[in-house]
Amino acid sequence: MSTRKEEFRQTIESNGLIDTLTRILTSLYEEPERPEKPLEFLMQELGAKSHEKLTKENKDLQQKVKALKKEIKNLKSKISKYGGNEDENEENEKENEKENEKENEKEEKEESEEEEEKEKEKEN
């Protein structure tokens, strides 16, 4: 066996790759019913998240970000309402309005992109 192949074999053995793949393939073999999508089974066993799970997690995190941004906006308006001078308050309100407009535009764009992605998935 060539030196390069031997080094590769030693690397995958020492990092536990052979044992992990053997365990996963054994569990696949021992399944009472064969999975319809064996590749997804392997990925799941390796700990990879599916596209659907990642999409859902992304959407959940985007909603959290949106809620936190609203909370920040509310806190900023309370701060400007109870503290600082009037010029600063007006300036802060204008900045908040601009930020809100940008955020709304961004959210609308993201929602339309999500809808397009769902339509593409349905077509496939």
Predicted pLDDT of residue 106: 81
Mean pLDDT per 10-residue interval, the chain, length 124 residues: 89 91 90 88 83 87 92 86 66 74 79 75 67
Predicted pLDDT of residue 87: 60
Spatial separation of the C-alpha atoms in residues 51 and 64, rounded to whole Å: 20
Secondary element (H or E) of residue 117? helix 86-123
Spatial separation of the C-alpha atoms in residues 20 and 24, rounded to whole Å: 6
Predicted pLDDT of residue 118: 72
Spatial separation of the C-alpha atoms in residues 110 and 113, rounded to whole Å: 5
Spatial separation of the C-alpha atoms in residues 79 and 94, rounded to whole Å: 14
pLDDT, one tens digit per residue, over 99-109 is 777 877 887 78
Backbone region of residue 85 per phi and psi (left: phi > 0; alpha: psi in -120 to 50; beta: other values): beta
DSSP states of 8-67? HHHHHHHTTHHHHHHHHHHHHHH-SS--S-HHHHHHHHHTPPPHHHHHHHHHHHHHHHHH
Mean model confidence pLDDT for the chain: 83
Share of the chain above pLDDT 70, in %: 90
